Structure 1
């Protein structure tokens, strides 16, 4: 006989949020926008143990651009709630990873999310020599 409880124990939880969704942290209250997600925690054990809390690893984890800050958090699904404010998030990377904001959510573009690596974007153009002022 098959024990269904054991069979389903390894099935990952479905994600509650998608890139572009607005979220609010259950414990810390900050707002943000989901930029990427992992089916389970992909952080190192050292990083995981250094956190103030250790939510279950076997649930979706989200990379969140934090409102009115320049940092990104990596949060477990159990720590996030939907943010129904429909207000945009102020973060320096929203225009890099999203193409717009409509109906209370961001529209994710195709720029890949690679934690720890800068995005693959072209470098800025050199200044136009014609713009230099003659002294």
Structure 2
């Protein structure tokens, strides 16, 4: 039986997204069905913009104009990135490959 409070994630692995408020974008490399970080992390977010915990949260290989980093973002704060611009995050090549259409796909991991 599935939990009726669980929602299907809006973005899948390899989806390129932008933050709704802050100027960064990234690629989804993991999804938590609900919040799965520390209470300290959650409480550090200003209350007026603090997201609900009962929604998917995404692990992103993220970048802004100055740097590349890993971000943890609620679904309510993400929108699709439709720019078509390639991402430059150094970690992307380890996890994804980009096809001729510009879509990011998980790399095949074959044991040696």
State the TM-score, normalized to the length of structure 1. 0.68
Kindly report structure 1 stretches of 4+ aligned residues shifted beyond 2 Å: 67-70, 99-105
Q: What value does the CA root-mean-square deviation take over the aligned residues?
A: 1.9
* Number of residue pairs aligned between Structure 1 and Structure 2: 103
Match of 2:53 among 51, 57, 62: 57
Larger Rg: 1
Residue 99 of structure 1 and its aligned partner are, at CA, apart by 2.6
TM-score by length of 2: 0.81
Higher relative contact order, chain-length normalized (CA < 8 Å, sep 6+): 2
User: What does 1:44-123 correspond to in 2, within 5 Å?
Assistant: 44-52=38-46, 53-68=49-64, 69-109=67-107
Q: 1 or 2, which has the higher strand percentage? A: 2
Judged with a 3 Å threshold, the aligned counterparts in structure 2 of structure 1 residues 51 and 110 are, in CA distance, closer, same or farther, namely farther
Structure 2 residue runs of 5 or longer lacking an equivalent are: none
